[in-house]
């Protein structure tokens, strides 16, 4: 099998189709096969061949010396990649001399089966991540009660997320609260109407920002990545699950844990509706937490504009690993904006005693870094959309010079601490 002469448009199109669901020519890390194909091209694929272009840019980001150090057999003609052993995939490229009718018929049959299978995939539910500013009448308004009232609004397709109190002056604070809505079920008008019904407490409601998070399939977003985001953290903290939830809005059960080897890549377009009114493509690298991959991981955070330092709220030493990565970024990528992400929030919500990472330690760490904090559950989806929406918003606002924490509306840990206290109260009956 071969892509053919990679100096021709047809061959580059085959390469593009091949890379539609793969990060590399072979396996899960850059190899000599990538170098062989890269060298065989006459230059960068054109914009419309988005998968090939994304791959090309990634391989081009390595120096020649680094490329020559990639593992694999350099003598092998990697422009003829090994057959893919993934049953889901189809061999779209016959060899140059596969011209006989039988081979063509088999190819067409497989292509048709592949397309039928693809067509049966369930449609993505369009969701938006919304952050609302809810303003009280004065500094005497009971903000805890206001938050309770807002959260009491329940309807199909609405999931409340994290919140914080933001000072607005004269001792008055507004409630900033996030939620994820299914677009065809819940709109901002509904939210505004429902919240302003608490008229004793609420003076006004504004949409701080709204991000459509599932408007595009990951594949269609690969064209031109605006911001490279890297996920870093100890093995097993939940990086891959976070990426899966963000890209595909799904959670693969705990039984199916597969440690990441090298790294995995995916991209997604977010539509920022207000106040930016533009789209941003996030290209996300999920790195391997295993210590044996650390030197390789450097390759993936190079050039990142945002890094999500993941820790597991139920695993105390995972915060130390996040600190290690913060140090590495400070040394090598000082311009990379950092977000702390406490994963597996659902476990701490279910059993507060399971939380072994202290919120105070996280806050101190975040303050030292000037980083935003999010606590997420890839199982329930809580705060995942908010995290990536904030990254996109911060990226857009970056040029205006806002600080990371203010720009993204840093998520307060206090809500979870409050929940914890409430649950502890419930448990002890006081
Ligand atoms: N309950 C719960 N389990 C989670 C969550 N996120 C991840 N897990 C589970 O934690 C285990 C590890 O998750 P991964 O996402 O594979 O961890 P990782 O950080 O990518 O690990 P490496 O690739 O080895 O570095 C898996 O069994 C997941 O199902 C979560 O939000 N809630
Ligand atoms: Mg992983």
CA of 44 to the centre of ligand 1 (A): 36
Pocket probe mutation, ligand 1, options 243, 253, 257, max atoms within 8 Å of Cβ: 257
Calculated CA dihedral for residues 32, 50, 259, 215, nearest 10 degrees: 180
Ligand lying nearest the CA atom of residue 311? 1
Determine if ligand 1 sits within 6 Å of the CB of residue 245. Answer: no
Determine if ligand 1 sits within 6 Å of the CB of residue 359. Answer: no
CA of 251 to the centre of ligand 1 (A): 9
Q: Which two tokens stand for residue 71?
A: 């593992």
Task: Report helix angle 50-60 to 32-40, nearest 10.
Answer: 110
Residue of the CA atom closest to atom 6 of ligand 1: 238
Nearest ligand 1 atom to the CA of 310 is: 19
CA of 343 to the centre of ligand 1 (A): 8
Residue of the CA atom closest to atom 9 of ligand 1: 254
CA of 188 to the centre of ligand 2 (A): 35
> Which of 167, 163, 165, 160 has its CA nearest to residue 191?
160
DSSP string, 3-64: ---TTSHHHHHHHHHHGGG-SSSSTTS--HHHHHHHHHSSSPPPTT-HHHHHHHHHHHTS-H
Would you list the domain boundaries of the chain? Answer: 9-120, 127-210, 221-420
pLDDT in the model for residue 47: 83
The Cα–Cα gap between 280 and 196 comes to 32
List C-alpha distances in Å: 73 to 18, 36, 78, 228: 20, 10, 9, 30
- Per-residue confidence in pLDDT tens, the chain, 430 aa: 478 888 888 889 988 888 877 778 887 777 888 888 999 998 889 888 888 888 888 888 777 887 888 877 765 544 444 434 343 333 444 444 555 677 677 767 777 766 665 555 555 567 777 888 999 999 999 999 999 999 999 999 898 988 888 888 888 999 999 888 888 888 888 999 999 999 999 999 988 777 765 444 444 444 577 889 999 999 999 999 999 888 887 887 766 678 887 788 888 888 776 666 778 888 899 999 988 888 778 888 888 999 999 999 999 999 999 999 999 999 999 999 999 999 999 999 999 999 999 999 999 999 999 999 999 999 988 889 889 988 988 888 875 444 433 444 333 333 333 333 343 333 333 3
Determine if ligand 1 sits within 6 Å of the CB of residue 19. Answer: no
Determine if ligand 1 sits within 6 Å of the CB of residue 343. Answer: yes
Report the DSSP beta bridge partners of residue 174.
166
Query: Could you give the count of Cα atoms lying within 13 Å of 63 in the half-sphere of its Cβ?
Result: 3
- Sign of the dihedral defined by the CA atoms of residues 103, 105, 108, 112, in that order: negative
pLDDT in the model for residue 215: 42
pLDDT in the model for residue 123: 52
Instruction: Name the fold adopted by 221-420.
Output: Rossmann fold (3.40.50)
CA of 239 to the centre of ligand 2 (A): 5
CA of 263 to the centre of ligand 2 (A): 8
Return the DSSP state at 123.
P
Of the options 3.30.70.60, 3.40.50.740, 3.40.50.720, 3.40.50.300, the CATH number for the domain spanning 127-210: 3.30.70.60
Determine if ligand 1 sits within 6 Å of the CB of residue 294. Answer: no
pLDDT in the model for residue 376: 94
> Which of 309, 390, 379 has its CA nearest to residue 344?
379
Ligand lying nearest the CA atom of residue 354? 1
pTM of the model: 0.58
Helix, strand, coil percentages for the chain (3-state, nearest 5): 40, 20, 40
pLDDT in the model for residue 63: 79
């Amino acid at each position: 099998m071969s892509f053919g002469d990679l100096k021709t448009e047809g061959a580059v199109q085959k390469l593009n189709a091949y890379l539609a669901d793969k990060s590399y020519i072979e396996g899960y890390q850059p190899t000599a096969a990538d170098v062989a194909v890269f060298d065989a091209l006459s230059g960068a694929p054109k914009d419309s061949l988005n998968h090939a272009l994304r791959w090309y840019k990634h391989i081009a980001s390595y120096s020649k010396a680094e490329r020559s150090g990639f593992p694999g057999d350099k003598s092998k003609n990697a422009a003829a990649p090994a057959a893919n052993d993934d049953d889901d995939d189809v061999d779209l490229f016959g060899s140059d001399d596969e011209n006989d009718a039988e081979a063509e018929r088999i190819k067409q049959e497989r292509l048709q089966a592949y397309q039928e299978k693809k067509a049966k995939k369930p449609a993505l539910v369009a969701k938006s991540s919304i952050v609302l500013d809810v303003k009280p009448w004065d500094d005497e308004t009971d903000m805890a009660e206001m938050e309770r009232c807002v959260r009491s609004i329940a309807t199909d397709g609405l999931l409340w997320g994290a919140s914080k109190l933001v000072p607005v002056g004269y001792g008055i604070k507004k409630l900033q609260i996030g939620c994820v809505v299914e677009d065809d079920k819940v709109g901002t008008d509904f939210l505004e109407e429902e919240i302003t019904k608490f008229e004793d407490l609420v003076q006004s409601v504004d949409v701080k920002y709204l991000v459509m998070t599932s408007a595009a399939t990951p594949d269609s977003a690969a064209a031109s990545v605006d911001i490279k985001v890297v996920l870093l953290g100890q093995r097993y903290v939940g990086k891959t699950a976070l990426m899966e939830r963000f890209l595909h809005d799904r959670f693969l059960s705990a039984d199916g844990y597969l440690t990441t080897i090298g790294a995995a890549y995916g991209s997604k377009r977010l539509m920022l509706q207000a106040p930016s009114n533009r789209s941003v493509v996030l290209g996300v690298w999920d790195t391997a937490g295993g210590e044996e991959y650390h030197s390789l991981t450097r390759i993936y955070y190079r050039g990142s504009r945002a890094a999500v330092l993941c820790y597991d709220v139920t695993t105390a030493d995972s915060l130390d690993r996040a600190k290690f990565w913060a140090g590495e970024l400070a040394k090598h990528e000082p311009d990379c904006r950092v977000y702390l992400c406490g994963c597996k929030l659902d476990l701490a919500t279910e059993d507060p005693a399971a939380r072994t990472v202290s919120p105070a330690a996280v806050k101190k760490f975040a303050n030292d870094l000037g980083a935003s904090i999010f606590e997420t559950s890839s199982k329930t989806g809580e705060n995942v959309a908010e995290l990536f929406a904030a990254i996109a918003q911060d990226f857009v606002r970056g040029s205006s010079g806002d600080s990371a924490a203010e720009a993204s509306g840093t998520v307060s840990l206090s809500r979870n601490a409050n929940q914890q206290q409430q649950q502890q109260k419930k448990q002890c009956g006081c």
